[in-house]
Amino acid sequence: MTAELIAVDWGTTNRRAYVLDGDGKVLRSERDSKGLLAVAPGGFPAELAALRAELGQFPVLMAGMVGSAKGWVNVPYLSCPAGIADLAGALEWCEPGRTAIVPGLADPAGDVMRGEEVQLLGAVAAALAPPDSLLCQPGTHCKWARMAGGRIAGFSTAMTGELFALLKEHSLLADFLTGPVSDGPAFRDGVRAGMDGRLPGLLFRTRAAALLGRRSAQDSASYASGLLIGNDVGGAAIAREEPVFILADPHLGQLYSAAVAIAGGRPTLIDSHAAFVSGIARIWKASQS
């Protein structure tokens, strides 16, 4: 097995690099905090040089916020629908034949993504999800994508994770959201309530319920998280018994899986890292043909 490519998922706060062989197999991976926010203006070439010094002098294909307005190069978005061949044909070459950035995608309704498109397409390419399916990527900004014929037909974004973080740090509820979030009765009660709408009023009642002794303060974080995730999932228009493929870490994946099941869908948790590797390897291969 001979290394041929360094694939980099360059996010806002973190960076993950994979050394891949010609078949897309991971030979080595590294994760650090050298995300977009940690790189000084104009500092991306030096950061990549340091990464190559550690991992090897191989071609590099990058995806994520490295291609944003505050990244190395502001790479134009491609419009949906889009597939692997479309992304491969629109790479932004920082160094011809040696260093490139995958473009993000734009939905005609007015939404954007950078980095998630590689995971979505990779999930289908690796047979982790069917060519025609609904995929969910929970996180700070949760993505919902409809796949058609193995391509991304369209998507939408919900600021679910960011809203929860803001509530925990800067809201009237902050003192009541100190407990852990887990999949239990309080979380599921929140999911069901959140699917019914009226989110602002229900969030205020989270505090009131704790003050009045109707719910323990320890359960308030789970309930509030359930409200937000329930509202998010409820807006995804999941059909009864529809499969939903969730790309997330186990904890967040479990929470979304529970919410999808409550909404009547059939959740399947899949490996987001494997999906990224599958997608980036295929985009690189397509760009070389």
Domain residue spans in the chain? 3-128+274-287, 158-270
Q: Which CATH architecture has domain 3-128+274-287?
A: 2-Layer Sandwich (3.30)
Look at residue 193 in the predicted model and tell me its pLDDT: 97
Look at residue 236 in the predicted model and tell me its pLDDT: 96
158-175 mean pLDDT: 96
What whole-number percentage of the chain has pLDDT above 90? Answer: 99
Look at residue 186 in the predicted model and tell me its pLDDT: 98
Cα 245 to Cα 259: distance, rounded to the nearest angstrom? 13
Same fold, 3-128+274-287 and 158-270: yes
Alpha carbon 40 to chain centroid distance? 24
Look at residue 150 in the predicted model and tell me its pLDDT: 97
The answer on pLDDT for 9 being more than 80 is: yes
Residue 62: CA count within 13 A, CB half-sphere: 31
CATH of 158-270, one of 1.20.1600.10, 3.30.420.310, 3.40.120.10, 3.40.50.300: 3.30.420.310
The answer on pLDDT for 203 being more than 80 is: yes
**55: Cβ contacts below 8 Å, ≥ 6 apart:** 6, 17, 19, 28, 30
The answer on pLDDT for 1 being more than 90 is: no
Buried b (16+ CB within 10 A) or exposed e, 118-140: bbbbbbbbbebbeeebbbbbbbe
Average pLDDT along the chain: 97
Distance separating the N- and C-terminal Cα atoms of the chain: 21
Look at residue 110 in the predicted model and tell me its pLDDT: 96
CB 104 within 8 A of CB 112: yes
| pTM of the entire predicted model | 0.95
Look at residue 197 in the predicted model and tell me its pLDDT: 85
Span 19-61, pLDDT tens digits? 999 999 999 999 999 999 999 999 999 999 999 999 999 999 9
Q: What is the DSSP letter of 24?
A: -
The answer on pLDDT for 289 being more than 90 is: no
